Amino acid sequence: MPELRLATFNCENLMMRCDFARSGLPNARDRLTEVDDALVAEQVDAVFDVLSEDDRTLTAQALAATGAEVCALQEVENLVTLTAFDNRYIAPWAGQPFGERVLHEGNDTRGIDVGLLSRLPVIFQRSHARATYGLLDIAPPPGASVNDYAFRRDCLEVDIQKDGRALTLFVCHFKSMHGGRKRTAPIREAEARAVRRIIEQRFDRPADEEWVILGDFNDYWEVDGQSVSPHGLGPLLDDDFAVDLASRSIPDPFERWTHHYNGDGTYGALDHMFLSPRLAALNPAPEVKIIRSGVPYIADRYQGFRFPGIGWKIPKASDHCPMAATLRFEGRDVSL
């Protein structure tokens, strides 16, 4: 049975700037979103700079510390950015770049997308950024119509292959809490319904298949063990549709946080891995690790090792912590 080291990480504004004149490529700026143009990505990488050298170095260190073979990422600007980050920042800390990179342009007005880095073959990929509430046959949240896109960014569906077996991942980044957590919860709940519907359309019997929903869901149902409601993640948790890995694998509720909000000091679990019931049964006690070495010192609940260069608020790896887990899976046979 294959084992997979899987991680999710909101990189916080992994965006780029580029000297397009020096790139020597015609229409380079317009071609940055052509996600299949690997040559453009590699060539533009030569004149790429990240907005903060310190932050991006720390981001790479945090990601490398996961030891992941596959990492779902959030807040990545485009494929060129992802390529440059992999080659210039990940490779020195992890020993080599991931090599496989997946990103499709989503719906976010800031241009931040979900993506994937993988050392394993990606044998299937599909964006759901253009799925509407109507197409998915789900009710829109208040103020939206059936013609609106269901996802504020995307739900990226990928199949990863290892040892001739395939595992399906759904990478998400739900609506932020900007505007108030309770007020925006219905939007995240609609996104959760959309993810569930996509899985139900993919698999006739979702509970009997092996899949993971992972990413930044911008919501939580408990803080330090105390229930918090309302929240927008019910469709993924209700009737045991999926199993939250951290809640089951990290007994101490004070150790499940992945994000520190400076505004009110909340330590919340915004980043999740939801396993299908079958995959959860195959992993009754998996190793789950939240890497906090890149958080700024203002998050003073954490008293452990920090990477050199971390500041009080900045520099930092991100405002989120990467989460990693080692999972066994049987998967689907794709060796033939």
**More confident site: 262 or 305:** 305
Lowest mean pLDDT of 15-19, 30-34, 48-52, 163-167, name the range.
30-34
How many whole angstroms separate alpha carbon 84 and alpha carbon 42? 8
Q: What is the mean pLDDT of the chain?
A: 91
Which pLDDT band, with edges at 50, 70 and 90, does 72 fall under? very high
pLDDT digits (tens, 9 = 90+) for 215-224: 999 999 999 9
- Mean pLDDT over 167-181 rounds to 96
How many domains does the chain divide into?
1
101 backbone dihedrals φ, ψ, rounded to 5°: -135, 130
Residue range(s) defining the domain that contains residue 140: 3-333
Residue 265: how many CA atoms within 13 Å on its side-chain side? 2
pLDDT at residue 335 in the model? 80
Q: What is the DSSP string of 50-81?
A: ES-HHHHHHHHHHHHHTT-SEEEEEEE--HHH
Do residues 63 and 9 lie in contact, with contact meaning Cβ atoms separated by under 8 Å? yes
pLDDT digits (tens, 9 = 90+) for 300-329: 999 999 999 999 999 999 999 999 999 999
Which pLDDT band, with edges at 50, 70 and 90, does 289 fall under? very high
- Mean pLDDT over 102-124 rounds to 97
Residue 225 makes CB contacts below 8 A (sequence gap 6+) with 253, 254
Q: Which CATH number goes with the domain that contains 243? A: 3.60.10.10
pLDDT at residue 301 in the model? 97
pLDDT reading at 33 higher than 50: no
- Mean pLDDT over 177-200 rounds to 96
